Amino acid sequence: MRLELPASLVAAGASNDPIGTHTSKTMMLPELRLLLAAAPGPVSFREYARATVEDNALRKSTTATRKKTLSMLRQLYGLSGDVPIFAALRGLWGADPAGQPFLALLCATARDPLLRATAQKVLAMQPGELTAPAELAAEVASAFPNRYKPGTLHHIGQNAGASWTQSGLLRGRLKKERVRARPVPIAAVYALYLGHLSGLAGPALFTSLWAQLLDTDAVSVRSLAAASAHAGWLEYASSGGMTEIGFRHLDEIVAGEAV
């Protein structure tokens, strides 16, 4: 799997810089849920900061911890309508809570190359197969040789494993067991949109990394796309071997999130 993302997706808020939130944190799905519930609708980063630091929406005991957590969330998600991939996530977030783990995983994978470096390992696992932090850390060490000390790699392996558990693709505490996640249409909308922002179109959207992160096959992704189109989240047409997907509605949502 190619870790470096195209310039078009980076311009939309993805990252190829392995500064790595996962050196110290997971993808923090519980905290993200609390924050987006506390500051609904398109708001500025200042409002997210106020909700976190002043209102303690994330339920942290000290101001320093609140600020640190907010900083990590900003690294992973952007927390600004001016970041298109976050604006899309924000716009889709309330549509179906069952899709939120996928939305968070997709955005965090786009923004943290360390998590992205472990994706191929997890996606290749069969249900019931086990993995451990050391194996995930080895994927990062291979992708970024001589960059991280053994202790840091150990933490990355632990945190990445926890993120994949939050997403629903792994389960367990120390040894992680591969399980099949159940994607919902709203998650497919986001995955296809990330592919679109990567410069892909037509059938290529159903086999991109983002589609693979839905943990299902291309035929099922097509079905999810059709269901999303029926609900009005995207435009989908497939006939005579030709496939067209449009994102007019989501583009409007993204534009509206830029506050």
Give residue 259's pLDDT: 55
What would the two tokens of residue 209 be?
A: 């990394």
Strand partners, 246: 235
Instruction: Report how far apart, in Å, the C-alpha atoms of 81 and of each of 88, 108, 137, 254 are.
Output: 9, 16, 33, 7
- Do residues 56 and 67 touch, judged by C-beta distance below 8 A? no
Give residue 151's pLDDT: 96
d(CA 215, CA 65): 34
Q: Which CATH architecture has domain 185-257?
A: Orthogonal Bundle (1.10)
Instruction: Report how far apart, in Å, the C-alpha atoms of 251 and of each of 89, 104, 183 are.
Output: 12, 19, 22
Give residue 238's pLDDT: 85
Q: What is the pLDDT along the chain (259 residues), one digit of tens a residue?
A: 568 999 999 999 999 998 779 999 999 999 999 999 999 878 899 999 999 999 999 999 999 999 999 999 999 999 999 999 999 999 999 999 999 999 999 999 999 999 999 999 999 999 999 999 999 999 999 999 999 999 999 999 999 999 999 999 999 988 999 999 999 999 999 999 999 999 999 999 999 999 999 999 999 999 999 999 999 999 999 887 788 999 999 999 888 876 5
Classify residue 68 as exposed, middle or buried by CB count within 10 Å of its CB (0-12, 13-18, 19+): middle
- Do residues 84 and 173 touch, judged by C-beta distance below 8 A? no
> Can you give the residue ranges of every domain in the chain?
7-178, 185-257
Strand partners, 130: 177
* Backbone conformation region of residue 43, classed left if phi is above 0, alpha if psi is from -120 to 50, else beta: beta
CATH no. of 7-178: 1.10.3540
Give residue 58's pLDDT: 96
Give residue 216's pLDDT: 97
Give residue 212's pLDDT: 97
Give residue 182's pLDDT: 94
